[in-house]
Amino acid sequence: QLEKLAEIGIPVVIATTNSQNDDILADFFEERKILFYRGNEENVLRRYIDAAEKFNFDKIIRVCSDNPFIDIPFLKRLLNIAHENTEKDYISFSFQNKPTILSHFGIFAEYVTLNALKKVESYENRFYTEHVTYGIYSNPDAFNIMLIPLDNEIAKFNGIRLTVDDQKDYENTLAVHEIIQNEHIERFEDLAEIIISNQTLFERMKTQIERNTK
């Protein structure tokens, strides 16, 4: 996905941790001249802030590493909307009245400003330090938020789960890779149709959605 993100024309920076366990990642990025920042392992919010400040970013498109199938057309739409709404602190697509980052689809990014992240940090809420943007959309009166509903576009694919939270999700991800192999698929809709046609995989995803629904 790094190549696809880079093609959009915005800088891509990996915000990884300073844990010894991630030394192998740092070596990988250095060898391939991929921009990265190493920061606090437990305080993900501070890691984002530090990474943004190091590279002089005041606006951020956040792509989570547990969402390996980012939909590029949706990402481009998000970028265009952000360019037209520079006064917003946070922009995201939504599904069932919630930011799509909270959904099981695993294909969406979100837009946030550095100033908004710093404001979240001032709340000194430990939960917010792990869930970077949660402090924004859970305090809608304190931030200028824009949510773009996608229910009509993606409701028919509600049984698709491409986010990776546990071993079963990871196994399903490997199965998706095996099915598509070297096919160039950018749109979620195209990938979703392939998954739905594989009844066994589709049922496994629906089971995972039920297990992970809070």
- Does the structure show a pLDDT above 80 at 8? no
What is the distance between the alpha carbons of residues 172 and 178, in angstroms, rounded to a whole number?
10
Using one digit for the tens of pLDDT, what is the confidence trace for 81-126?
999 999 999 999 999 999 999 999 999 999 999 999 999 999 989 9
C-alpha dist (Å) from residue 141 to 91, 135, 144, 172: 15, 11, 8, 38
CA angle, corner 47, sides to 45 and 48, nearest 5? 65
pLDDT of residue 180: 84
- Does the structure show a pLDDT above 90 at 200? yes
- Does the structure show a pLDDT above 90 at 50? yes
- The single residue listed with the structure tokens 């190091």 is 54
What is the distance between the alpha carbons of residues 107 and 176, in angstroms, rounded to a whole number?
14
DSSP H or E segment with residue 91: strand 90-95
Which has the closest alpha carbon to 115: 59, 32, 42?
59
What is the distance between the alpha carbons of residues 168 and 47, in angstroms, rounded to a whole number?
28
Q: Is the dihedral of CA 75, 80, 83, 86 positive or negative?
A: negative
What is the distance between the alpha carbons of residues 133 and 117, in angstroms, rounded to a whole number?
7
Q: Which two tokens stand for residue 113?
A: 């400003």
In the predicted model, what is the mean pLDDT of residues 173-190? Answer: 85
Which percentage of the chain shows pLDDT scores above 90? Answer: 82
For residue 19, give the amino acid letter: S
